[in-house]
Amino acid sequence: MYHWSPADRFDEIWRTGLRPHAGPTVASGTLCYVCLSPDPSTAWSLSGAMDWVSDVDEWDLWLVRIGERDHVCVRGEFGPRIEEVKIYGHLPADRLWWVGRRGPSPANTCGGPAA
């Protein structure tokens, strides 16, 4: 499963993992769970692609291994396809792998010189 987080949280996540009740980026308040998605694209659409988080310039993608004892709830509001799950509890750093960083989108996405 995958999770996007603001790059300024890298050091904390690298040391301690993903924790519920951390300062929210997408939600309006702190959550008692961590959200994950089955692929990077879906995770992005439910986090960094949201209009109200445009003030975050860089995002880190984390691959997360869910454990047998994790309390996992599939969010049913997306229909029959699993798009997001809630993990109630701490996801320690030894179960996370940093995949990469996504920077700000260039103003000109066509690849040519800026006008």
The answer to whether residue 74 sits within a structural domain is yes
Query: What pLDDT is attached to residue 69?
Result: 94
Instruction: Give how many domains the chain has, as a whole number.
Output: 1
Instruction: Give the CA count within 13 Å in the CB-facing half-sphere of 24.
Output: 10
| Residues of the chain scoring pLDDT < 50 | 107-115
Residue 115 domain-assigned (yes or no): no
Where in the sequence is the domain holding 80, given as residue range(s)?
Answer: 2-102
